């Protein structure tokens, strides 16, 4: 989903950093849009003037009558207000309204994780963090809530440097790898309008994993959550993937949650 704005950003960055036009075109072809969900302080002054919240980390879930806290009582880490998302900034299909809730452990590899959509207009009540297990009171981990704001961004396939023109550029030698690193960083920074998104939540696009990417083959990234975006003392990364068909059909039980450290 390439737009003239994306092309302008990439070609301008290529000229500034000495990257040939054909290699820049290969990056454009290998790119996908995403949404960064960031706290207010990560926005630029200009972005803050028009900022509209679209998500929240932590807190307690509001669930429909008859729907209990998902099995395993994993923490609520993210609530996304689907109606507040700039939908034109994604190439995956999310609900047009309601809230998308993500329950998972971020401090250790979760045994179970759940994504749950609560449609708009459905009566809900806030659930308690206290529950009973084998007759004993237990407490769900509750992270402090923090409001997040959507910032359109751009991601690049990890394979784009294998493209012919880019490979030829690298083959000349020197510090061409470093040049491409700086070029790619400049593109992502410009696409986000200068907002800080290194430690944030990302919806859609390509993942930026610390280990092997889980979004390969038929799997695409739904969400990527840095532990520090939930709790500054948690140094993990949770990646949530599924097929485009499952994401579009809201078959969230088919999603795969992967944690990297």
For 242-257, write each residue's pLDDT tens digit.
999 999 999 999 999 9
Residue pointed to by tokens 């009582």: 73
% of the chain beyond a pLDDT of 90: 88
Q: In which element (H, E) is residue 27 found?
A: helix 21-29
Question: What is this structure's pTM?
Answer: 0.94
Cβ atoms within 10 Å of 204's Cβ, excluding its own: 23
Instruction: Please state, in angstroms and as integers, the Cα–Cα distance from residue 240 to each residue in 26, 116, 164, following that order.
Output: 27, 13, 31
- Going 50 to 54 to 58 to 64, the CA torsion angle's sign is positive
Of 248, 242, 222, nearest to 101 (Cα)? 222
Instruction: Let me know how many helices (H) and strands (E) the chain has, helices first.
Output: 6, 14
For the beta carbon of residue 148, count every other beta carbon within 10 angstroms: 23
71, pLDDT greater than 70: yes
Tens digit of each residue's pLDDT (9 = 90 or more) over 90-99: 999 999 999 9
Q: How open is the CA angle 35-38-39, to the nearest 5 degrees? A: 155
DSSP string, 184-219: HHHHHHHHTTT---SSSEEESS----SSS-S--TTE
């Amino acid at each position: 989903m390439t737009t003239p704005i994306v092309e302008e950003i990439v070609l301008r960055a290529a000229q500034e950093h000495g990257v040939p036009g054909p290699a820049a075109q290969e990056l454009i072809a290998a790119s996908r849009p995403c949404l960064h969900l960031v706290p207010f302080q990560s926005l630029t002054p200009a972005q803050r003037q028009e900022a509209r919240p679209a998500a929240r980390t932590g807190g307690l879930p509001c669930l429909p009558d008859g729907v209990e806290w998902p099995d395993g009582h994993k923490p609520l880490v993210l609530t996304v207000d689907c109606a507040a998302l700039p939908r034109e900034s994604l190439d995956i299909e999310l609900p047009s309204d309601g809230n998308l809730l993500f329950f998972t452990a971020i401090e250790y590899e979760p045994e179970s994780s759940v994504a749950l959509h609560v449609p708009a207009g459905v009566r809900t009540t806030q659930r308690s963090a206290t529950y009973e297990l084998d007759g004993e009171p237990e407490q769900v981990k509750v992270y402090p809530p923090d409001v997040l704001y959507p910032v359109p961004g751009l991601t690049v396939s990890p394979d784009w440097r294998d493209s012919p023109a880019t490979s030829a550029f690298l083959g000349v030698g020197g510090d061409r790898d470093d040049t491409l690193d700086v070029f790619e960083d400049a593109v992502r920074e410009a696409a986000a309008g200068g907002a800080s998104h290194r430690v944030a939540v990302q919806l859609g696009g390509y993942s930026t994993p610390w280990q092997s990417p889980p979004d390969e083959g038929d799997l695409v990234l739904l969400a990527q959550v840095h532990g520090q975006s939930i709790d500054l003392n948690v140094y993990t990364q949770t990646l949530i993937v599924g097929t485009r068909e499952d994401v579009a059909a809201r078959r969230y039980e088919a999603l795969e949650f992967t944690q990297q450290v």
